[in-house]
């Protein structure tokens, strides 16, 4: 049975996003040519979740949301330095089903 989008938005009032960001990447262990060391690339990461904080300092998203006994909790969150963020895609829920 499909759930109306307005009901989904009432559940949690944060946008769903896909954040693409750079992260540090460790090189191979052992001796490497200086050229290989200089050519080391950054890791490109992609994280999906609710955007709960976005400031000049940090971008925080969470993947899980829970309500129990009057408490509202978030889980599997990550704080990314905003300067590392390459893009944020805002996602829309087109369809949701429940059992």
The average confidence (pLDDT) of the chain is 89
- Residue 1 has a pLDDT of 46
Q: What is the mean pLDDT of residues 55-68?
A: 96
User: CA-to-CA distance for 4 and 86, rounded, in angstroms?
Assistant: 32
Give the count of alpha carbons within 13 A of 72, CB side only: 4
For 76, phi and psi rounded to 5 degrees? 50, 55
Q: Tens digits of per-residue pLDDT, 2-47?
A: 545 555 555 689 999 999 999 999 988 999 999 999 999 999 999 9
- Residue 98 has a pLDDT of 80
Q: What is the mean pLDDT of residues 73-88?
A: 97
Q: What is the mean pLDDT of residues 84-98?
A: 89
From 27-31, 55-59, 92-96, the region with the lowest mean pLDDT? 92-96
- Identify the CA nearest to 59 among candidates 23, 83, 24, 92: 83
User: CA-to-CA distance for 77 and 52, rounded, in angstroms?
Assistant: 9
0.95 exceeded by pTM: no
Cβ pair 77, 62 in contact under 8 A: yes
- Report the CATH number of the 5-25+36-91 domain: 2.30.30
Instruction: Enumerate the domain spans of the chain.
Output: 5-25+36-91
Name residues whose C-beta falls within 8 Å of residue 88's C-beta, 6 or more positions apart in sequence: 17, 18, 19, 20, 51, 54, 59
């Amino acid at each position: 049975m499909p759930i109306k989008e307005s009901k989904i938005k009432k559940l949690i009032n944060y946008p769903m996003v896909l954040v693409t960001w750079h992260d540090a990447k460790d090189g191979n262990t052992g001796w490497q040519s200086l050229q290989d060391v200089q050519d080391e690339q950054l890791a490109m990461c992609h994280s999906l979740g609710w955007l709960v904080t976005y400031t000049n300092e940090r971008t925080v998203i969470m993947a899980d949301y829970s309500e129990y006994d009057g408490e509202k909790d978030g889980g599997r969150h990550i704080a990314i330095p905003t300067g590392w963020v390459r893009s944020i895609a805002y996602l829309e829920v087109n369809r949701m089903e429940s059992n």
